[in-house]
Amino acid sequence: MISLTVNGHALQFDGDQDMPLLWYLRDIEGLTGTKFGCGAGLCGACTVHLDGAAVRACQTLLKDVAGHKITTIEGLSVEGTHPLQVAWQHANVPQCGYCQPGQIMQAAALLRETPHPSEAQIDEAMSGNICRCGTYTRIRSAIKEAAEQGASQ
Amino acid sequence: MIHERNITPGMANVSRRAALLGLGTAAFVLALRLPVQADESTGGADKKYAGAGMPNGIRNDPKLFLSLAPDGTVTFICIRSEMGQGVRTGLTMIVADELHADLARMKVQQADGDEPKWGNQDTDGSRTTRHHFTAVRQVGAAMRQMLEAAAAQKWGVPASEVETVNHEILHRPSNRKLGFGDIAAAAAALPVPPPDQLKLTDPAKFRYIGRDDQKIVDGFNIVTGRAGYGIDTKLDGLLYGVVLRAPVYGGTIKSYDATETLKVPGVVKVVVIDPTPIPSEFMPLAGVGVVATNTWAAIQGREKLKVEWNDGPNASYDSATYKTELEGLARKPGLVVRNQGDVDTAMPKAVKKVVAEYYIPHLAQAPMEPPAAAARIVDGKCEVWACVQSPQAARERVAKRLGLSNDDVKVNVTLLGGAFGRKSKPDYAVEAALLSKAVDGKPVKVTWTREDDLGHSYYHTVSVEHLEAGLDASGKTVAYLHRTVAPTIFSIFKPDQQHEAPFELGMGAVNVPWNVANLRVENPGVEAHTRIGWFRSVSNIPHSFAIQSFIAELAAAAGRDPKDYLIELIGPDRIIDPGEQADGWNHGEDPKLYPYDTGRLKRVIERVAKEAGWGRKPIQGRGLGIAGLRSFASYTAACVDVAVSKDGQISFPRVDIGIDCGPVVNPDRIRSQLEGAVIQGISLATLGEISFKNGRAVQTNFDGYEVTRIDAAPREIHVHIMDLGSKDYTRPLGGVGEPGVPPVAPALANAIFAATGKRIRNLPIRDQLAG
Ligand code: FES
Ligand code: FES
């Protein structure tokens, strides 16, 4: 039995503790906003926050997050009003949208650490997140826009 | 639009979008019958084009697509799949403009797969807006006229005095008005006016069509993680499956042992999936499925399977050997697929001869959402939830494999997390149905891992393109010979298919606009050894890369500016019947409405050249390259500005891309499609390759099969839409989803030549410039 906090809710699980957090979130908790893209830490689609830092849920085992706080895209803001979510819609960033929860979670962690990132810092922080639809130029502008709006708050 | 919040992904009847190649069902049969030679393929008098030529045609019945709630909310049913191209947004804009509706009071609902009911749903071939623009306008206009007629009846006034403005029906003389909801029931009881009585809205009064700031329908759901994709399907009592598939196309199971698998906690059942003999079309490969209570348990169980395979006839497929085979074939005469003048006489007389060969490897579409589908069977009826480009194709294949009638299979379409052609082939939906059947109809969701996706794709073809040209003393091309050798998509449908299909040759191989008297295109045959499928823009990728690179090589041989040389080779402005280019296919469009217009092509090339600063002063380590062509009934050109560092690393300060797609519906989604096409073009040119060894795909995940990431994306992408702002909506529409891809790779290679003098003839570029 392990305990963890997801989006502010205290949860307990007595299944396979070697299960990656990704599948726990998606299949057990029904939090499907966290996406599966590669299962190997190569695409960033599964990015969530572990105590505020961006991690790949597919590479994070449940037993390693016992007692920790997880935030998923569903918990980033209650009403979808995080400055990044607003900027993302303003710039019409998504195409298919599948990679975007992971992109936004990665960007949120970036802005927390670096409230006003340079373009090079954006590229560096975001280079683990693949967008096969090719929305990268809009991702850059949305991050800059959110930074101006004070997304680090 | 009203943004659906908290939709349950499993209940996928509220969502999605648009556009396929039509190879899925009857269109494929039609395509199969299309002869290669234009003179045979112009068809009979009854030949149908555009949407009418697609299986089950196009519908324009407002009662089918629109419903009005008492509060005035209008629900529009989108029958095409949304995979990022923006069809759910674009089609709704069109209907809102004709209905004179307030877009903020409209909802989009995704149709299930039912072509006899909805008309063609095959989301492929950059066709949705092109084929539905008029029909959807008619849907909106008919509903508006019915509302007006009902209001006129109610008020006892002539219908001609009634008008509709922003979701209200007005009678100005008496200062009365009604909301849509007030009159919905009465309107619905009226007959639908026939198309010739419809008063379409004057484009000058469009409020949405052509507007550049339209927010996408699913934006809120996407950024909050609520958007439901096939892989997110939730159903009561859902089980989770993965399948271990034969690693070689055509392989079968020799023996298997699931003892250890069944010991994994959570594993419920192990299921053998019988092979579909080659050609296996859209049906599943041989495999062993593992059903469990969660995906992780299924994956763990699969790892413990012990399976011995019979690899079958493709066991020795090796892409390095195959390349040599293709080269050998490309150097010998092959089936003549276009011939004008006399190349054999003109070539020896040329003052200069240029010969070049290009290689373009297999690619995998690798949509970020891998294939996934859920199915359950209740009382002999199967219901499927899946991210499919052609839900009717999925429905027919599931019905066939389960021995049910189509009516007993329902396919709910989810959002597609990218598709790029992969999700036209619903083998994964059939797998889900088979796994469900094996557990007494309980709901099962099949998830493909990335390893599954890259190991069992319907791969983009691999090709060698051999080009020869003779130049006269002035540098003008006087003879042109192209041999294209590539395994054909036809090979997944019919045995013994060795030649490119008309729709493959018509993607830029035969239908080149060159103003050259002596021109021949040949297609030597070759066998396929893996599943070949379509990848965004399909055969345009190899044809365009080779041809547009070659034209720049000719310019260099002639000592000319490559853009000027390209423009001159296209020649004077003229309207060419595609039949004259041996293109009897013409993207399924009427050659009279959609001829090859060289003037339009030249204008888009000149536009991007100007915008990109073509002719600028040379910059050390930098180069501009250009390419332009017609595909999917549109004209596109790209100009790439490349920077090459001393150690051979390339980066992209800027890319300009232009499109002439005729009338413009949603400029923002045209831009986003072209931005994406630039990235995907750069990705395939610089990194993309699936290779084969012992019949198996070598690359297994995004470490081996690399794709472009943000740090390698251009600093700036500038999209130029020709005739943006034009209110002439009488011109035929062109495609948008795919035509951005083909000019990118050759423009990039031409830019590298300009920067370094090095010619890229083999893709991907990877570290060819290093050292
Ligand atoms: S799914 Fe975790 S990084 Fe790709
Ligand atoms: S928007 Fe489709 S993968 Fe990023």
Q: Give the end of a domain, one of A76, A91, A106.
A: A76
**Minimum-distance CB partner of A94 among B219, B295, B678:** B219
CA distance A96 to B82: 7
Averaged pLDDT, B395-421: 98
Q: Yes or no: say if B417 and B452 are a contact pair by the CB < 8 Å rule.
A: no
pLDDT digits (tens, 9 = 90+) for B539-562: 999 999 999 999 999 999 999 999
Q: Per the domain annotation, does A58 fall within a domain?
A: yes
Structural tokens at position B141 = 């206009």
Selected residue of A74, A133, A143, A145 to mutate for chain B interface (largest B Cβ count, 10 A): A133
A38–B676 C-beta distance less than 8 A = no
Assess whether A41 and A64 both reside in one domain: yes
**Minimum-distance CB partner of A39 among B9, B420, B449:** B449
pLDDT score of B2: 62
Phi-psi region of B641 (alpha: psi -120 to 50; beta: other; left: phi over 0): beta
pLDDT digits (tens, 9 = 90+) for B685-727: 999 999 999 999 999 999 999 999 999 999 999 999 999 999 9
Q: Per the domain annotation, does A153 fall within a domain?
A: no
Name residues 68-127 of chain A within 8 A of B (Cβ): 72-74, 76-77, 80, 84-85, 88-89, 92, 94-101, 104, 119, 122-124, 126-127
Q: Per the domain annotation, does A28 fall within a domain?
A: yes
Assess whether A67 and A102 both reside in one domain: no
Q: Classify B150 as helix, strand or coil.
A: helix
Q: Give the end of a domain, one of A76, A110, A137.
A: A76
User: Chain A residue with minimal CA distance to B215?
Assistant: A92
pLDDT score of A150: 80
Assess whether A16 and A72 both reside in one domain: yes
Ligand nearest to the CA of B222: 2
Structural tokens at position A69 = 């706080």
Amino acid identity at B116: P
For helices B87-99 and B128-155, the axis angle rounded to 10 degrees is: 30
pLDDT score of B47: 87
pLDDT score of B46: 75
How many domains does the structure of chain A reveal?
2
Assess whether A60 and A115 both reside in one domain: no
Assess whether A88 and A66 both reside in one domain: no
Q: Give the end of a domain, one of A76, A99, A134.
A: A76
Residue B45: pLDDT band with limits 50, 70, 90:
low
Averaged pLDDT, B42-56: 81
Mean model confidence pLDDT for chain B: 94
The size of the A-B interface in CB pairs under 8 A is 197
Assess whether A20 and A71 both reside in one domain: yes
Q: Yes or no: say if B640 and B625 are a contact pair by the CB < 8 Å rule.
A: yes
Q: Yes or no: say if B79 and B389 are a contact pair by the CB < 8 Å rule.
A: no
CA distance B240 to B290: 8
Assess whether A94 and A68 both reside in one domain: no
Torsion angles phi and psi, residue B224, rounded to 5: -105, 5
Assess whether A32 and A91 both reside in one domain: no
Distance of CA B718 to the CA centre of its chain: 22
| Closest protein CA for atom 3 of ligand 1 | A41
pLDDT above 70: residue B15: no
pLDDT score of B35: 32
Look up the CATH number of the domain holding residue A40.
3.10.20.30
**Residue with more model confidence, A98 or B23:** A98
Q: Which residues of A touch B713 (CB under 8 A)?
A: 134, 136-137
Assess whether A71 and A6 both reside in one domain: yes
B265–A43 C-beta distance less than 8 A = no
**Minimum-distance CB partner of A92 among B216, B418, B711:** B216
For the full predicted model, state whether its pTM sits above 0.90: yes
pLDDT digits (tens, 9 = 90+) for B190-218: 999 999 999 999 999 999 999 999 999 99
Look up the CATH number of the domain holding residue A105.
1.10.150.120
Compute the residue count for chain B: 771
Helix, strand, coil percentages, rounded to 5, for chain B: 35, 25, 45
For residue B105, give every residue at least 6 positions away whose Cβ sits within 8 Å of its Cβ, in sequence order, or none: B2, B72, B73, B74, B167
Assess whether A62 and A6 both reside in one domain: yes
pLDDT above 80: residue B33: no
pLDDT digits (tens, 9 = 90+) for B435-478: 999 999 999 999 999 999 999 999 999 999 999 999 999 999 99
- pLDDT more than 70, % of chain B: 94
Amino acid identity at B330: A
| Measured CA distances, B288 to B292, B382, B454 (Å) | 13, 21, 18
Q: Is the predicted ipTM greater than 0.95, yes or no?
A: yes
Amino acid identity at B639: C
Q: Per the domain annotation, does A66 fall within a domain?
A: yes
pLDDT above 80: residue B8: no
Residue A78: pLDDT band with limits 50, 70, 90:
confident
Ligand 2, closest atom to CA A103?
4
pLDDT score of B44: 57
Ligand 1 proximal residues by C-beta, below 6 Å: A 36-39, 41-46, 56, 58
pLDDT digits (tens, 9 = 90+) for A86-125: 999 999 999 999 999 999 999 999 999 999 999 999 999 9
Averaged pLDDT, A129-133: 98
B713–A134 C-beta distance less than 8 A = yes
Assess whether A16 and A71 both reside in one domain: yes
pLDDT digits (tens, 9 = 90+) for B629-647: 999 999 999 999 999 999 9
- pLDDT more than 90, % of chain B: 94
User: Chain A residue with minimal CA distance to B17?
Assistant: A96
Name residues 403-422 of chain B within 8 A of A (Cβ): 415-420
Q: Per the domain annotation, does A126 fall within a domain?
A: yes
For residue B525, give every residue at least 6 positions away whose Cβ sits within 8 Å of its Cβ, in sequence order, or none: B329, B334, B335, B498, B499
Assess whether A114 and A99 both reside in one domain: yes
CA distance B337 to B40: 12
| Interface check A4 vs B, CB under 8 A | no
Provide the domain limits for residue A72. 2-76
B367–A96 C-beta distance less than 8 A = yes
Residue with tokens 């190569």: A42
What's the gap in Å between B688 CA and the centre of ligand 1?
20
Q: Per the domain annotation, does A69 fall within a domain?
A: yes
